[in-house]
Structure 1
Amino acid sequence: MAAIYMRMLGYTVTLAMHGCNLFVMNSLLQGPVMEDPNIRAFSAMYKRFFTVWTMFLHMFVASLGLTSDYLTLKYSNKKEPKWLGLMRNTKNRVFAAVLWPTVFLVSTLFWSLYHYDRSLIYPLFADKILSSTANHILHTVVVPLVVWELVFQPRSVPKSHAVNVTMLTVYMFAYLFVMYYTYVEQGIWMYPVFGIAYDTRFCFPLIITAIGIMLITYYHMQWFLTRIVWGTRRQKLKNNKS
């Protein structure tokens, strides 16, 4: 029972953190700073950035998790409605199939490029609207939060990964479509590294392939950790019972 309260703590922190960060970011996109054409362009399309997609997805999963856990406690002495199980399963599915791999992709890819050449992923003008704290919330703190979920959410390795991998593939192709549509519509790449790669033609498909490999690797990494965390715990429970 303690695990459910720990999960609810994690969901509450996630929603408060992203909610406050979103509020601050929107408040900064006003006034004299909007005279910068780069800031105006960012303001017009910031919801198309993959990091922002991940943030909203994280908030969606946390909202489902917090609601379903609260209702689980409420119905602890009653028969659960069927839709509560559906809500819980949806949260678990989206977390495993999309949120976990994309959070790790956002964090590792962003910080790798940032320390190599920040202009490839995070232009200087972004400092006007994203503080160091906001930057770490979007690209760093999200990692321990999803690990927190894995540690306190009982789970087992699925027999088949087909549905999860299909969801992840559809999600990524949807984002690639949005990113390319933005280029066709406005003539700019939201992340400069893609513009450089696109101009070379040969590097662009290599980068997309590398990102795909990273996503699949991160997806399967969670099940390796799941075996360590929950496989060990279940074995201990069996030993205690015996």
Structure 2
Amino acid sequence: MAAAASWGSCLCVHTVIFAWYVFTITKNCSLNTDAPGVKTYGGRWKYLTFLDLVLQCVFFGLCVFIDIVHLILPAKGVPSLLVKIRDKIFTILAFPLAAFVFSSFWSLYNYDRELVYPKYLDDIIPVWLNHAMHTTILPLVLVQMYIQNHKYGGRIKSIIGLALFAFLYLSGVLWVHYVSDIWVYPIMAKLSPVGLGLFFGIAALTMAPLYLLGEKLSRKIWASAEEKEEVRLGWRVS
């Protein structure tokens, strides 16, 4: 069971992770790449991997800001609105998306890498950057889950929020195809209309279990700490 880390310790961890994401995004954007997808309609923004990197960077930037506010103004404390925004971003988007990008990418990569990450990209994107985009994202959100307790809201509303994000992203994928006649990922070009519909449906439905996984892991990690807090506040009588 975890115990809440000090604000100073959190600031150190968050600063390192935030700097890592800034560095990763900068290196990604500075690549002199001939990858056709980057130069076509939508650029990097049509890729879920890049969107996830930006989301994680914004999230950890917010964490750094909250830590600094708490350390500078300990008496007043951090505005509850900031903490609520932090928790909403983490529980509804940051953890589920990191888990989805990690699991979907490496599952397809091990099945047939040409479906998601063609071999020619090895000569364009360094190995470390590939892992920064698709591997380390999961350990980093797990570190965050361990050092700070995030309050999960109502399941239905949260899953609807995640589903809305998935709908908007998939709508964007279809829009890119409609405007430019290209598919964001190679696997989509190989599927029939029915297969494509099933692929989109499965991808969207996978998000809900990942949200529930995050909720379960968080409660398992923080169960003891929450029980102690409830006893301290008189919420539980034993």
TM-score (norm 1): 0.86
Q: Which of 194, 206, 212 does residue 214 from structure 1 map onto?
A: 206
**SS in structure 1 of the partner of residue 125 of structure 2:** coil
Are residues 1:70 and 2:55 paired?
no
Distance 2:45 2:17 in 1: 19
* Letter of the structure 2 residue corresponding to residue 50 of structure 1: L
State the Cα deviation string for residues 111-141 of structure 1 (Å, max 9, x = none).
0111111110012332233111001011111
* Letter of the structure 1 residue corresponding to residue 227 of structure 2: Q
Indicate how the Cα distance of structure 1 residues 204 and 11 shifts in structure 2: closer, same or farther if over 3 A, else same: same
What's 1:183 paired with? 177
* Letter of the structure 2 residue corresponding to residue 215 of structure 1: M
| C-alpha deviation, 1:74, in angstroms | 1.3
What's 2:115 paired with? 120
Indicate how the Cα distance of structure 1 residues 28 and 59 shifts in structure 2: closer, same or farther if over 3 A, else same: same
Distance 1:227 1:39 in 2: 40
What's 1:131 paired with? 126
> Would you tell me which structure has more helix in proportion to its own residues?
1
Distance 2:6 2:40 in 1: 40
**SS in structure 1 of the partner of residue 226 of structure 2:** helix
What's 1:172 paired with? 166
State the Cα deviation string for residues 158-213 of structure 1 (Å, max 9, x = none).
3x22331122111111111111111111111111112222xx12211211221122
State the Cα deviation string for residues 61-101 of structure 1 (Å, max 9, x = none).
11111101110121112x247xx321221111011011111
Provide the alpha-carbon RMSD of the alignment.
2.4
Q: Percent identity?
A: 23
Maintained 8 Å contact 2:91/2:150: no
Maintained 8 Å contact 1:114/1:121: yes
| C-alpha deviation, 1:26, in angstroms | 2.6
Indicate how the Cα distance of structure 1 residues 212 and 231 shifts in structure 2: closer, same or farther if over 3 A, else same: same
Distance 1:157 1:39 in 2: 37
What's 2:100 paired with? 105
Indicate how the Cα distance of structure 1 residues 175 and 237 shifts in structure 2: closer, same or farther if over 3 A, else same: closer
What's 1:163 paired with? 157
* Letter of the structure 1 residue corresponding to residue 39 of structure 2: A
Bigger relative contact order, structure 1 or 2 (CA pairs below 8 A, ≥6 apart)? 2
* More deviation, 203-212/20-29: 20-29
| C-alpha deviation, 1:109, in angstroms | 0.4
Distance 1:141 1:124 in 2: 21
| C-alpha deviation, 1:18, in angstroms | 1.8
* Letter of the structure 2 residue corresponding to residue 179 of structure 1: V
Maintained 8 Å contact 1:4/1:152: no
Are residues 1:146 and 2:141 paired?
yes
How many residue pairs get aligned? The number is: 231
* Letter of the structure 2 residue corresponding to residue 67 of structure 1: F
| C-alpha deviation, 1:156, in angstroms | 4.2
What's 1:196 paired with? 190
* Letter of the structure 2 residue corresponding to residue 223 of structure 1: E
Q: Mind listing any 5+ residue stretches in structure 1 that lack a counterpart? A: none
Maintained 8 Å contact 2:91/2:152: no
Maintained 8 Å contact 2:53/2:133: yes
* More deviation, 175-184/7-16: 7-16
Maintained 8 Å contact 1:156/1:227: no
TM-score (norm 2): 0.87
Maintained 8 Å contact 1:155/1:230: no
Are residues 1:235 and 2:213 paired?
no
